[in-house]
Amino acid sequence: MKKITFLISFIALTLLGSYAQNNTQLINGKQQGITFQIPETRNCGTMEANSPEAIANFEDAIAPHIAAYLQSINGNNSPEAVYNIPTIVHVIHNSNENVGSGRNISNTRIQEQIQILNDDFRRTNADKTNTPSGFVGVAADCEINFCLITKYPSGHPMAGQTLSERGVDRVSTSAISGISNTTSGYSTTTIDNTIKPATSWNPNEVMNIWVCQLQSGLLGYATFPNSGAANKDGTVMGYQYFGLTGGVYGLGRTTTHEVGHWLGCYHIWGDDNGACSGSDQVSDTPNQANATGGCPSGVRTDACATSSPGYMYQNYMDYSYDACMNLFTAGQKARMQSVMATQTRRSTLNGFSASLCAATGIDDLTNIDGISIYPNPTKNIINITSASIKNSEVAIFNMLGEMVYQNNSSTKNTITVDLSNQPNGVYFVKVKTNDKVSTRKIMLTK
């Protein structure tokens, strides 16, 4: 959306943010025996978590760097770099929850989410083929990777020592003064003022992600670069939406959206409640009246985007369901690259990636030796082969996170699965042994 008047958009977004928070329609959901509320319309608390003044100051600071970056790109003197962001996931759980139970999410879920982030920010996501032709030219590889740390950062009592679980900090409520076990979730005030300061790790060396239960159907929120206190910097995610969890928000795109905020991107419609005067400060995202709900298809127009290719509901910074999101733009990439190059608590992160974590790149985070899935793409049948597949668990999920196949204990080295009753699209094959898990993407094209 093109830049119009930034101050006007801030006034509008404050009003719109309150409206979205207080008027969210909720439906009941259930995960691992816990009933919770799922919003019918995606909601994000980022704009409320960051004051208009703080965001305006950030914009003043970053704008010259973005302009210089774009000038260098246009002059074929590209300053682009691939950044690796060391990441720690703080899992805040009830004291009576074992690993893999309730809010104490499994390591598999965490690995899935980091893989999703790497795919989405590097544009290796399998559903990039769904990007319409009108937007393919501006869709971008943001050249940002995320790696789970293997060692504690400086400032931690165990600095330099190896984590028992890569990239994961499991924190029971009993270890945080001022909170207790919850069934309804924590408010953003409690998270920002109590949970974050008690659990934050050095934000100059790692990106902090907190996974917990949020109140009122809120999916997540993040801090903008150079905004707020250091011990509150990071991204907060509802545990129900972290990794491949099923449902309309079950493909991990909420975390992609929130990390997009953490890297300096705004909502694509400019938070102006349909006025067409707000701005996401990016020139290659079409002007858009309002947030998109559901999972549209085809060219969609509105009062702000009146002609083809329409508005960009496929953008990760919109509010579409996870299965409809598939791109960041070159303009959004320019913001992220500029943030990583210049901003406090962002520009130092890449320098610690070599010492704190082994780069995960964009491949599967954990592989089972010798696993082979063929043919891929397939018209109906796939074969999953490995010497390690005996006594392992195999499951296949569609893009909505719904399980379409499960085999809990194979007695053979090869499992043959018939997907002919499933619609065309991308599927995820997950193979789990006692200590390893491998997730692979396949394409079904009949």
CA distance 295 to 156: 43
List of residues 6+ apart from 164 with CB closer than 8 A:
none
Tokens of 210: 């907190």
Q: What is the DSSP annotation of 43-69?
A: ---HHHHS-HHHHHHHHHHHHHHHHHH
Tokens of 117: 């982030």
CA distance 240 to 250: 8
Q: Tokens 């499994």 belong to which residue?
A: 106
Of the residues 59, 97, 205, 258, only one is catalytic, namely 258
Q: H-type helices in 200-302, by residue range?
A: 253-262
CA distance 124 to 111: 16
Question: Which H or E run contains 109?
Answer: helix 107-122
For the stretch 30-34, contacts whose Cβ atoms lie closer than 8 Å and that sit 24 or more positions apart, written own/partner, are 31/240, 31/245, 31/246, 32/101, 32/102, 33/102, 34/102, 34/103
Count Cβ atoms below 10 Å from residue 57 Cβ, excluding itself: 14
Q: Are 265 and 1 in contact (CB under 8 A)?
A: no
CA distance 122 to 396: 24
Assign 329 to helix, strand or coil.
strand
- Whether 258 is catalytic: yes
| Length of the chain as a residue count | 446
Tokens of 181: 């076990």
- Residue 11: Cβ-neighbour burial (10 angstroms; 0-12, 13-18, 19+): middle
* Catalytic positions, written as ranges: 258
